[in-house]
Structure 1
Amino acid sequence: MNHHDLDSQLRAAARPVPRGRVHQAPAQDLLERIVNTPRAAMGATPIGVGNGRRGIVRHPARWVTVGAAAIAVTIAALVVPGLGGDREAYASWSATPAQLSADDAQTIGRECVRKLEPDFGYTQADLSNARKVIAERRGEYGYLSIVTKRWSAACFRDKTGDVQYSSVFEGQVTDAQLGRAGIELQGWGQLRTSEGHVRIMSGHVGSDIAAVDVSLTNGTTVHATVDGGYFLAWYPEEAGAGAGTTVTLHKKDGSASTGLSATELYDAPKLD
């Protein structure tokens, strides 16, 4: 595939940005840093395409997606027609997460930040001083979210051991703004690995939220990992899918907020 063909496919995949918070200060600041960062240090980070709620910004070696909930950058591999998935793809995946070992979490976090540094200027010191690192294991796969005072990033390790970041988010709402039952979706991008596509979700919830479930249109309920006011989950998904996905917030008193649209939460948080 030559450069012109690749460029054409990327443009065809792009969709317009809706009205939102793309013009707010955190979004503009991160966009400036992305555009002005030298590309010579870039490694094999996958090419990104929008997922329906993002605009596309082009610069020498990168397509990034910018918008929603103050600022999020979602990285997802280009979908090339004719590349089908393995029927056994993600065979060890489970709708219920298990604990990721501390050693694995540390390894994934360090490798993820190493890849983030040339693109966004984040450092290992940021990781060491993180407000929260929440992690989970589903089958052969490791996934964690790094939350600092200024930014958060979702980091995924596939079964081959390759670590990729799927989203970067700045301009988070505060605990006080979320209140007791609010939710902020900080990441909900698609990522492609050697086995196919996955949907990566991460976010922040109010103080009364004890559990988070993600309901897919195929009837699957994915149980998220929730820890210290933050949550994350991932699941296999066809390229371009996601419409109709909803989130349920289970409160400590046993009540629940159901049917929250993931698409709408990705555009703006639900504050209590």
Structure 2
Amino acid sequence: MVKNKYPELDAFGPLDSAPRSDLDEAEQIRANARLQQILAVDPDNGNTGNGTIGRRRSKPARRIAAPIALAAVAAITATAVILPGSGNNDAAYASWNAVPSSISNQDRAVADAACRGQLDLSAPQLDLAERRGEWVVLLYTASEHMAGMCLAHLPAGTQKADNIDFSKGGGDQGFLPVAGEFTQGNIAEFRGGNMFGVSERPEIALTHGNVGEDVAAVTITTPDGQLVKATVQDGKYAAWWPGKAFGDELEGNGGPAPDISYTITLKDQTVIEDATPRKPA
């Protein structure tokens, strides 16, 4: 056995969290997969130049390595995480409402112009837009089953959107629900903070998916018990809320599992509580 050249470092041995024995085959496979995930991520993570807490662009869940402890990631069909820039606080979301309202054509056009250039999607198609207080969300789809959501601060009638954040990831994965089915698409958490863990904004969660032709309404129960009515339009739904989407449990891939549930209302007024989303085959 080779002795430590610096014996005084032996005192740190008990603090070493690395395994004391060789990894078995399964553990080695998981370790190699995790290494590839880390190496695959852009080291700048899409930072737009606002320093250590600048806006960061999301990647599909299977390619994300969380850069700070506040990040969370999981995968159902696909999930994304965003670490937005500073500039917002708790009061910014005081106008948020669990029931969405429609957005005027003028406001939709202003938000679309602000969001479209930042999504990094190939020929994005705007599928859905909703308003909750002073904030709007736009849902886009693109080629290769990609989807993106853009959150922007845009009080009604104003000419410029600000505080724009967005997520991007796999969309329908080539699977479209029928009848009373629905899918769970990307789930994203916007978490504010810097490298020292000092919060700059409250947590925000967004999600979207597809619905079959018989689905009239989608209501999401959040981890803290809020009931959030999604906007349902042209076979798609989207919603967002101040708060979390993930819980403490882990999925099989090691990421945190979503802690939300769904109530589906069909066009014949049938209500399906704790409904299970369909997943791609």
Q: What pairs up with 1:96-175 in 2 under 5 angstroms?
A: 96-117=99-120, 122-123=121-122, 126-127=123-124, 130=125, 132-150=126-144, 151-158=146-153, 161-170=162-171, 172-175=173-176
CA distance in 1, matches of 2:48, 2:116: 13
What displacement does 1:148 show? 3.3
Partners of 2:220 and 2:72 lie apart in 1 by 26
Q: State the distance in 2 between where 1:54 and 1:41 align.
A: 19
Shift of 1:39: 8.3
Tell me, what secondary structure is at the counterpart of 1:196?
coil
Aligned CA distance change for structure 1 residues 240 and 216 (closer, same or farther; 3 Å): closer
Larger Rg computed on CA atoms: 2
Q: CA deviation at 1:243?
A: 5.1
Q: Percent sequence identity over matched residues? A: 23
2:186 aligned residue:
187
Q: Secondary structure at the match of 1:112?
A: helix
- The letter of the residue matching 1:100 is I
Q: 1:91 to 1:208 in 2, by over 3 A?
A: same
Alpha-carbon shift at residue 164 of structure 1 (Å): 1.3
Structure 1 residue ranges without an equivalent (≥5): 1-22, 24-30
Matches within 5 A, 1:48-127: 56-57=64-65, 67-69=75-77, 71-72=78-79, 74-77=80-83, 86=90, 88-117=91-120, 122-123=121-122, 126-127=123-124
Q: CA deviation at 1:85?
A: 5.7
| SS at 2:100 equivalent | coil
Deviation at 1:207, TM superposition (A): 1.0
CA contact under 8 A between 2:191 and 2:203: conserved in structure 1? Answer: yes
Q: TM-score, normalised by structure 1?
A: 0.63
Structure 2 unaligned spans of 5+: 1-32, 155-160, 193-199, 248-256
Secondary structure at 1:173 match in 2: coil
Q: Which amino acid aligns with 1:156?
A: L
Please report how far the alpha carbon of residue 40 of structure 1 lies from its aligned counterpart in structure 2 after TM superposition: 9.1
Counterpart in the other structure of 1:255 = 270
Count residues in correspondence.
214
**C-alpha separation in 1, matches of 2:236 and 2:102:** 15
